[in-house]
Amino acid sequence: MSTTLFTSESVTEGHPDKIADQISDSVLDHMLAQDQNSRVACETLVTTGLALIAGEVTTSGYVHLPDIVRGTLQRIGYTNSSYGIDATTCSVLTSLDRQSLHIAMGVDTGGAGDQGMMFGYASDETPEYMPPTIHYAHALTRQLAKVRQSGELPWVRPDGKSQVTIEFDGDTPVRIHTVVVSTQHDEDVSQDDIVQGIAEKVVRPALPSGLYDPDNCILHVNPTGRFVIGGPHGDAGLTGRKIIVDTYGGVGRHGGGAFSGKDATKVDRSAAYAARWAAKNVVAAGLARRCEIQLAYAIGVVEPVSVHVTTFGTSELPEEVLSRAVAEVFDFRPAAIIDALGLRNPIFTPTAAYGHFGRTPETRVPDCSETGEEVRFFSWEDTNRIDDLRTAAGV
C-alpha cells in the first residue's frame, strides 16, 4: 500500500493573531449593529500591554474601541497582568480614517470593493464537508480551550496550537499519524504533568477512535519543553495572519485575502463565503465528492470576471455542466451575496476563532444586537440549494 501524509494546523482563541482577528471582527459587529451599511476595514495589532487599531471606517454609529478591546481580552481569558497583556490595564491606541471616496464610488453601485480571486472548497470526508486534517486540528484547539475554561486543566493558559497529520491511501484517511499540541501553561507545572494531561484530557476526547490509536500515533506535546511566555507577550499578533487556519488547512487553494475586520462589501470575505456555500451544496447534492470554486472580481464591477468549478475527477458529470448549474443557482454579484447570506448583520465575531467554515449554522440574537432580533450565523454552511442544483444539472 502506497500512502501519503498531509498536515493542517489550528490555533486557540488566545493565540495573538486570533486575538487580533477577534478584536477586528468585534469592532465590525458593533458598527453593523448600529448601522448595517457600515463600511469597515479594521486591522488590529496586539503586543505586550498594547492593542493598536487602525484602518478605514465609514459609519453612522459610534463604538468605544477600548471597551471592545478589553471585552475581547476578558472573554478570551487575558485577565492576569503576568500574562503580558491584561484586559483591565492594557493600553489601546486607535488610528481610524473614513473609507476612500474613490472606493465608495464603485461599491455604492453594487460593485466589488476590491479586485482579487477567492476560493471555496468542500469534500465528503467529514460530516461538516471539510478536509479531515483541519477538522481534527480545530477539534483539538476547541478541546484545549474547553479544559482551560472549565478548570479541568487549571494550569492551561489562553495561547495554544495544534497540528494533525493524517496518513491517506489515495483519498481515504487511514489513520492519524502525528499530533502536535502546544499549550501555554503556568510556571509551576511539570512537563510530565502537561504531557499526561494533554494526552488524556485533550487529545483522546477530541479525536475519533477509528483514526486515532495512541499506540500507533506520534504525539508531541510542548516539544520545546516550556511554554510559559505566550500570547501577545511572546509574539505580536496581527489581523489576517491565519488565513489557512481560517479556511481549509492548506487543502485546496487560497486567494490570499484575509477575512476578519472587513464588512461584506469586501469580496475577500463575502465571495469566499459564497464560494464555500456553493461548493458545499454541490457536494451535499451528491454531484461530486470534492469541489472547489474560484470567483474573481474587478473593483467597482458588479459581475464576477470569472467563475471556475473543478471537482478533481470526483464527479460523473462534465465540469461544464456543473459550472452552468452553479451559475444558474447562485448569484455571485456582491450585493446579491450579501442579501442571500444576511451579511449586513453583526454575525462575524464567532468566525474569528476555530475556522470560518465547517461550522454549525444557528439562528439567535447577536451578542451586540441593538434590536433583539434573531439572525442567521454561518449561513454559508446551509445546504439549502441541493434540489435546485440537482435540477439545474439534470439529475
Grid cell in block for residue 380: 454559508
161 among known catalytic residues? yes
56 among known catalytic residues? yes
Grid cell in block for residue 32: 453593523
The residue annotated as part of the active site, out of 70, 135, 185, 241, is 241
The residue annotated as part of the active site, out of 21, 25, 29, 43, is 43
385 among known catalytic residues? no
The residue annotated as part of the active site, out of 54, 104, 199, 236, is 236
C-alpha to C-alpha distance for 109 and 156, rounded to whole angstroms: 50
18 among known catalytic residues? yes
The residue annotated as part of the active site, out of 6, 18, 21, 278, is 18
The residue annotated as part of the active site, out of 135, 242, 276, 356, is 242
Q: Which of 147, 128, 237, 228 is nearest to 184 (CA)?
A: 228
Grid cell in block for residue 111: 460593485
| Radius of gyration in angstroms for the set of CA atoms belonging to the chain, rounded to a whole number | 21
Return the DSSP state at 351.
G
262 among known catalytic residues? yes
C-alpha to C-alpha distance for 20 and 25, rounded to whole angstroms: 9
Q: How far is CA 143 from CA 9, 117, 147, 160, 219, in A?
A: 14, 34, 6, 11, 16
Using CB atoms within 10 A of its CB, is residue 86 exposed (0-12), middle (13-18) or buried (19+)? middle
235 among known catalytic residues? yes
How many degrees, rounded to 5, is the angle at CA 235 between CA 231 and CA 237? 80
17 among known catalytic residues? yes
The residue annotated as part of the active site, out of 6, 9, 13, 15, is 15
Q: Which residues contact 134 (CB under 8 A, 6 or more apart)?
A: 8, 10, 164, 245, 248, 249, 250, 251, 355, 358
Q: How far is CA 341 from CA 112, 273, 321, 337, in A?
A: 16, 9, 25, 6
- Number of other CB atoms surrounding residue 1 within 10 Å: 6
Return the DSSP state at 203.
I
DSSP string, 99-139: PPHHHHHHHTTT-BSS-EEEEEEEESSSTTSS-HHHHHHHH
The residue annotated as part of the active site, out of 29, 268, 292, 381, is 268
The residue annotated as part of the active site, out of 119, 227, 357, 377, is 227
C-alpha to C-alpha distance for 312 and 318, rounded to whole angstroms: 11
236 among known catalytic residues? yes
Q: Are 236 and 165 in contact (CB under 8 A)?
A: no
The residue annotated as part of the active site, out of 35, 54, 56, 327, is 56
C-alpha to C-alpha distance for 266 and 39, rounded to whole angstroms: 9
The residue annotated as part of the active site, out of 17, 29, 114, 128, is 17
The residue annotated as part of the active site, out of 148, 262, 280, 333, is 262
The residue annotated as part of the active site, out of 266, 269, 356, 385, is 266
The catalytic site residues sit at: 15, 17-18, 43, 56, 161, 227, 235-236, 241-242, 262, 266, 268
